[in-house]
A and B are shown apart, each in its own frame.
Chain A
């Protein structure tokens, strides 16, 4: 506890503003600094507004959102969406492809049957399978089409994307350093190293200090709050799309990446690969946390994917044992090219 209280908090000498609003189903906190107070206030208000736009376009709950219209349209129909929605859908498709299905935005029916997303009316037809977003189709004019009967939920990347949008707005407004934290999907930019703590996967009132984050994003997925019993099994908001089973039991999975949508989405990939490795009984590592870096015979390499995205992951078990995966070297990202 003391080590945390003694760790230096960033206290920029210039004006600093810290605000929080209830958005994206969580509390979104924005800290910004480096410009005079009045400009800061306007910039932060605009950043919150940008998050509201992402929320309105990609909400699973709001029947008027682009996402809801796409889900309602079904597989044969092209749906015109906002460029922002098309970007997030493309991100979802990219990650579904590069992870060979370990991330999939089509897991929504699973989450619905577990009570983690509202059930649609009428009920989901049996033909709907909880995978397949790698096949999303795009056409000119911002048109998108589902490749088959499926229901998408962009919860896996949209929150991170909203954080990226907020950061872009702050930067455009001249803010020189800041942090946007959407309930644990966070991104830091500018001249600032932010100390970051991750919640204990079993005891949400306890924290592990992970280190300092500078010019990058960090997202964490864990079942700490979402886990519940369903027909005698523990289920939660982390689903392995290839098995339809909940994954990530007892651990928290954090990913560093250059942008928050990517960090957000990669946590799901790590969770699936972790479950895969455990299921196959492969490679328990030196500290006992079982991580599926290279599940045998699948042709998939988690560490390969992480280095492709210049990302790093850490899996923290309830007893504090941590396994770090991905690029060892400091990544030299050009943060200007972040989505």
Chain B
């Protein structure tokens, strides 16, 4: 183990304020992670107000948009891209479902966070309108490795619940076996 601290003994560190932002995967790369070699076809899916209501009830999570980004996988399976917005963080993630609707995995596509008075929350949120993971937004420079104050993945887990409810309401074949585990 080696540590090269900037200072030793009693010292004063200088704080910097910065947006922490990282891109991990593009949509296409994430598709290959879950369904290597398969062909994926985008499925236009717009939930009706009634469906949206049921999804919110089933998942306990409010729907941010009635349009869903989902792809059907040849040979069975589904691929979703979704975004969750916390107080300070904006996370784009992908979920792969197998043909029976079970979660194959969750991958983070991009992560952004911002704090501070200069970035008021509504304005900060507004920056993301219409943004997707393929049109990444740079918030200041990114920071390499952060320690301290654990980030929560609660919003992502809620988002996955919501996608599973959407799958059940709008995509699952009615005769299929129960898919929510």
Contacts and interface: CB of A to CB of B under 8 A. Distances in A.
A333 interface: yes
B126 interface: no
B150 A22 contact: no
Nearest to A314: B5
A303 interface: no
Residue of A205, A257, A316 with highest tally of chain B CB at under 10 A: A205
Interface of A: 1, 3-5, 9-10, 18-23, 25-27, 29, 41, 179, 181, 183-186, 193-201, 203-222, 224-226, 252, 254, 256-258, 285-287, 289, 310, 312, 314, 316, 319-324, 328, 330-331, 333, 335
A48 to B, nearest CB: 9
B150 to A, nearest CB: 4
B110 to A, nearest CB: 9
Q: Chain A binding site: helix, strand, loop or mixed by DSSP?
A: strand
A193 B12 CA distance: 23
B115 A25 contact: no
19 contacts: A21-B105, A22-B93, A26-B151, A26-B152, A27-B156, A29-B22, A186-B145, A186-B147, A194-B145, A197-B143, A197-B144, A199-B146, A199-B149, A203-B17, A207-B16, A213-B3, A217-B1, A322-B11, A323-B10
A330 B5 CA distance: 11
Contacts of A204: 88, 115, 149
B12 A321 contact: yes
B145 A20 contact: no
Contacts of A258: 1
B3 A312 contact: yes
Contacts of A210: 5-6, 13, 147
A41 B16 CA distance: 34
A3 B14 contact: yes
B45 interface: no
A212 B143 contact: no
B9 to A, nearest CB: 6
B143 A225 contact: no
Given A20-B111, A27-B108, A208 B147 contact: no
B16 A225 contact: no
A322 B7 contact: yes
A184 B20 CA distance: 14
A336 to B, nearest CB: 12
Contacts of B169: none
A196 B10 contact: no
Nearest to A331: B1
Interface in B147-176: 147-154, 156-157
Interface in B77-113: 88, 91, 93, 105-108, 111, 113
A299 B154 CA distance: 42
Contact of A22 (B2, B88, B156): B156
B179 to A, nearest CB: 20
A13 B96 CA distance: 31
B114 interface: yes
